[in-house]
Structure 1
Amino acid sequence: MSLPKTFSLRVANGKTVEIPSVGYGTWASGENSWAKDAVAEALKAGYRHLDCAWMYGVDGAVGDAIRESGIPRDEIFITSKFWPNFAHPNNVELALDMILKNMGLEYIDLFLAHWPLVFKNLPREKLERAFTGPNSSDEDKALPAEENGKRPLELEFCPFNIAKQKGATGSYVPTWKAMQETVRKGKAKAVGLSNFSITEIKELLPHQRDVPISCNQVEVHPWLPQRELIEFAKQEQILITCYSPFAGQKKDGATLLKDQQVLKLAEKNKMDVGQMLQSWAVQRGTVPLGKSATAARIKSNLDVRRLSVEDMRALDSLAIPNEEGRTINPSEGWGISLFQN
């Protein structure tokens, strides 16, 4: 039996739309011809789901690739995200307006909060001039100056659990409501989250009304299976999309793509390793967002196939325990560790 080509995604007013079950990630592409060529190759190979973000700095390249592909806009599902420098409720729509302008689009299909954080608010004129790219400075990106190596936060608008760690009271609800307004205005078809923990999602659950939490995008792969978070999301009808489905590199240099057990399973199934890891993700009911610059791998990563129960269990067994002997899972308020002590 084949794997699903699409999953249902909740959108406004009790409706659902179909989202392709495999997406093409554009992170770290760089704002250059490489990004445009890679996205063009992905579209040529059959991808109809592109995962983007303002911080990636590739909006222009992606938009050019879409237009030159000749594929009708309504046949491509496009996700983008706003960085915490735009997360103040007054600036959420501005971030989306900039994304749409840079990509040359009238709307995006899914608009996500990139992290559960709100950086210190900067003058609007700075944000209006903000751009990203491989050589752009923090000032170019309109990022607040670091204080002791960390970005200052607007704790009033950060999730409650993060503000509490700093001895303050906060709520992400105002930002969430600003995101919902972009759907009501037709600039986004759906809104969701990225890198949010269960506690941070729960804060927003009572505030869905006509516009629900459609998605939570997090890092997921056999080393980091995110079982608890995925089960919670399924119960709440929130789709999980998975960045870094091939994992990164451990401190000792080991990679999931060269893990001997993974290589043996891929050979057994007559698959490329990336193709098998993408298949594992889709079979779990999640959407992998793999990225490659190689035409052959771009194509094979899209060709997901059902794995045996035995092979799924073998991949599940690769989860890495942390120091307490538990499977790695996002800690409550995990986003703060990247930007704040």
Structure 2
Amino acid sequence: MSLPKRFPLRVANGKTIEIPSVGYGTWASGENSWAKDAVAEALKAGYRHLDCAWMYGVDEPIGEAIKGSGVPREEIFITSKFWPHFGHPDNVELCLDKILKNMGLDYIDLYLAHWPCVWKPISREALQNAKSFHNATSKDRGIAGGEDDPPQIDWEHTTSNLASRAGHKGSFVPTWKAMQQCVKTGKTKAVGVSNFSISDMEELLPHENDIPISCNQIEVHPWLPQNELVEFGKKHNIITTCYSPFAGQLPEGKSLLHDTKVVELAKKNDMDVGQLLGSWAVQRGTVPLGKSGTPSRIKSNLDVKKLSAEDMKVLDEMALPEEKGRTVNFVEAWGVPLHEG
């Protein structure tokens, strides 16, 4: 049985556009030639949704792949994101301009804040000249601070939730309004967020006006189902897109792709493991952003199919307690202590 090929995505003035229900992720694509070839293969296989970001450093090869694919631009849904040191309201549009120039595009479909915090850049000039190529240094990228030091947080423009937990006052609202302005200029059709908690999004909800929070992109897979965040999104008509839908591998070597239950369910349904996990995500009403460099897997990951209620339940009950909340406690991973309350 089939699953939806597209979901409605809210945009300005009460309208909606369609977002393909399965996307192709371009994170950690590494060298440019690899990214160009992989995206070209994805477009050839039928993908019409590319998930990108300035920080990934592969905008140019992705743009070349799009241009060489023969697929009309209007048929491809393109998401991109600004890294935190572009998060000051004065710099949000600058990052989008760099993305558009590097990809050779006039607009993107969805522009996201990559994280709910803002960092300090070296300077405006450094941002104008910033590069995000493979193995670029913090200085190359225009990020203030040394290579081995945590980034310098601009608490004033970080979400009030995170700022208060670190003993500061902050608000992401000015940055959000700058993002909304990018819709008004026509450089993006919609705006949203990534790695935002419920509290982070609640700060922005009163300021949606005619340009809503269209999307929250977070890590989601059976080990980390993010049920509360997903349900919050549904309640407020915010689409959840899911990075790392196959979970990768835990430090101790445990991998969801080789989990006994997952492998057995895939075999039972005559599916690849990635195809199974993508099907689970779409059936939940979310959008998986899988990635592979293998042509056969690129193709099969796109072919999602409806699972039985019994199989969905098995996957729904695989959450690991130790994984809960990991993706929203990201600031601590960058050396910035937070406290509860």
Query: What TM-score comes out, normalization by structure 2 length?
Result: 0.96
Three-state SS of the structure 1 residue aligned to 2:241 is: strand
Distance in 1 (alpha carbons) for counterparts of 2:332 and 2:38: 32
Residue type of the partner of 2:23?
Answer: G
Name the residue aligned to 1:6.
6
1:146 positional shift: 4.2
Matches within 5 A, 1:36-185: 36-146=36-146, 149-185=149-185
1:328 positional shift: 1.2
Name the residue aligned to 1:329.
325
The gaps in structure 2 that reach 5 residues or longer are none
Preserved contact between residue 123 and residue 142 of structure 2 (Cα < 8 Å): no
Name the residue aligned to 1:230.
230
Deviates more, 1:141-150 or 1:36-45: 141-150
Three-state SS of the structure 1 residue aligned to 2:112 is: strand
Q: Alpha carbon RMSD of aligned pairs, Å?
A: 1.3
Three-state SS of the structure 2 residue aligned to 1:242 is: strand
Distance in 2 (alpha carbons) for counterparts of 1:166 and 1:317: 34
1:251 positional shift: 2.2
Distance in 2 (alpha carbons) for counterparts of 1:213 and 1:157: 18
1:228-280 deviation per Cα after TM superposition (whole angstroms, max 9, x unaligned): 11001100000000000000211220100000111000000000000000000
1:282-308 deviation per Cα after TM superposition (whole angstroms, max 9, x unaligned): 000000000000000000000000000
1:25-51 deviation per Cα after TM superposition (whole angstroms, max 9, x unaligned): 000002411100000000000000000
Residue type of the partner of 2:331?
Answer: I
Three-state SS of the structure 2 residue aligned to 1:205 is: helix
1:41-64 deviation per Cα after TM superposition (whole angstroms, max 9, x unaligned): 000000000000000001001000
Residue type of the partner of 2:277?
Answer: L
1:41-89 deviation per Cα after TM superposition (whole angstroms, max 9, x unaligned): 0000000000000000010010000000011100000000000010000
Preserved contact between residue 137 and residue 147 of structure 2 (Cα < 8 Å): no
1:330 positional shift: 5.0
Distance in 1 (alpha carbons) for counterparts of 2:163 and 2:137: 28
Please tell me whether residue 264 in structure 1 is matched to residue 260 in structure 2: no
Distance in 1 (alpha carbons) for counterparts of 2:122 and 2:178: 18
Distance in 2 (alpha carbons) for counterparts of 1:79 and 1:147: 28
Distance in 1 (alpha carbons) for counterparts of 2:243 and 2:199: 20
Distance in 1 (alpha carbons) for counterparts of 2:319 and 2:135: 36
Distance in 2 (alpha carbons) for counterparts of 1:229 and 1:6: 21
Three-state SS of the structure 2 residue aligned to 1:263 is: helix
Going from structure 1 to structure 2, the CA distance change for 1:148 and 1:78 (only over 3 Å counts) comes to closer
Moved over 6 A (4+): none
1:148 positional shift: 7.7
Distance in 2 (alpha carbons) for counterparts of 1:198 and 1:111: 19
Going from structure 1 to structure 2, the CA distance change for 1:177 and 1:75 (only over 3 Å counts) comes to same
Name the residue aligned to 2:243.
243
Three-state SS of the structure 2 residue aligned to 1:189 is: strand
Three-state SS of the structure 1 residue aligned to 2:135 is: coil
Distance in 2 (alpha carbons) for counterparts of 1:123 and 1:143: 9
1:334 positional shift: 2.2
Distance in 2 (alpha carbons) for counterparts of 1:250 and 1:137: 26
Residue type of the partner of 1:51?
Answer: D
Distance in 2 (alpha carbons) for counterparts of 1:32 and 1:330: 30
**What is the total number of aligned residue pairs between the two structures?**
336
Query: What TM-score comes out, normalization by structure 1 length?
Result: 0.96
1:153-194 deviation per Cα after TM superposition (whole angstroms, max 9, x unaligned): 111111111111232211000000000000000000000000
Three-state SS of the structure 1 residue aligned to 2:333 is: helix
The gaps in structure 1 that reach 5 residues or longer are none
1:144 positional shift: 1.3
Name the residue aligned to 2:309.
309
1:313 positional shift: 0.3
Preserved contact between residue 121 and residue 143 of structure 2 (Cα < 8 Å): no
Distance in 2 (alpha carbons) for counterparts of 1:9 and 1:170: 29
Distance in 2 (alpha carbons) for counterparts of 1:222 and 1:184: 38
